[in-house]
Amino acid sequence: MTNKRGKGPKGEKNKSRANELKSSASKRYSKGKRLDKDKFLKRGRKGEPQPKPDKEKKEGVRLNKYLANAGICSRREADTLIEAGAVEINGEVVTKLGTRVKPTDDVKCGGSKVNREKPVYVLLNKPKDFITTVSDPQGRKTVMDIVGKACKERIYPVGRLDRNTTGVLLFTNDGDLAKKLTHPKHQVRKIYHVTTDQPMSNNDLVQLCKGVKLEDGTVQADKAAFVEGKEDRREIGVELHSGKNRVIRRMFEALEYKVVKLDRVSFAGLTKKNIPRGHYRFLNEKEVSFLRML
């Protein structure tokens, strides 16, 4: 007979089986093999399976996530909007955090209807003479003139590049990820190819990494080096994580150099490889997963 504590023949059998599984798992991960992160992320605490998609349809998604997925804002900002009474569900103001939204619900934020959209990620190799904004009252060319018709979802630029700066610029309707990539605490790395009006001295190159004093604080480049194959010392590669406005141009100006050409070649590990100037492409799942892990 087997009592409730699992003793007896059956209990011994279960215990033996448990030890076998434990030993198998130990061998599996003691040989230096990497854990399958995708499979691991699909399971919750203590290995419990996460809710199935059908459950989301029945119970809905949290309101802050719904707003973030629609590209309105980040989840944290959505919580503020909810508490302020700026969000309505089916005509009723909702102020309770944790409220869930079902597919059939009518959601409004600030009086405007919110349509839930699938997350979209577009990478542009920005050309010169386009400003980074959704619209311009002066009628100047904007980056949306290039990517505005890339998808039916409403996407927005993550950060910005000056009008005369070219290179990598990411667009998305994923408010959480956009917030993460632009927040200083995450120290997202950017790499720039800088061309100056005159040769740069070795001392000034070193000074970029030591720190350059600007009106809003001292900024240090993480790395700085002359571009290989260029003998005139006017082309410099600079890597930094600061998100200050016009930071590269201001750093060089502080050292008495004028930037005549500025190209961002990398942002958060994303590069413009195989993307001609003025063209764009969609990120793949692997790239999106990488950004979320930063």
The span from the CA of 41 to the CA of 280, in Å, is 30
**Closest to 173 (Cα-Cα) out of 161, 156, 198:** 156
All residues at 6 or more sequence positions from 79 whose CB lies less than 8 Å from its CB, including other chains: 64, 97
The span from the CA of 120 to the CA of 69, in Å, is 9
C-beta of residue 248 within 8 angstroms of C-beta of residue 259 = yes
Given the residues 36, 38, 136, 162, select the one marked as catalytic: 162
The dihedral sign for the CA sequence 136, 72, 288, 189: positive
Per DSSP (E only), the strands in the chain are 61-62, 87-89, 92-93, 100-101, 107-109, 112-114, 121-126, 156-157, 165-172, 190-196, 212-214, 217-219, 223-226, 235-240, 259-267, 270-271, 280-282
- Per the annotation, the verdict on 197 as an active-site residue is no
C-beta of residue 120 within 8 angstroms of C-beta of residue 173 = yes
Written as six digits, the tokens of 258 are 């004028």
All residues at 6 or more sequence positions from 135 whose CB lies less than 8 Å from its CB, including other chains: 142, 144
What residues are annotated to the active site? Answer: 162
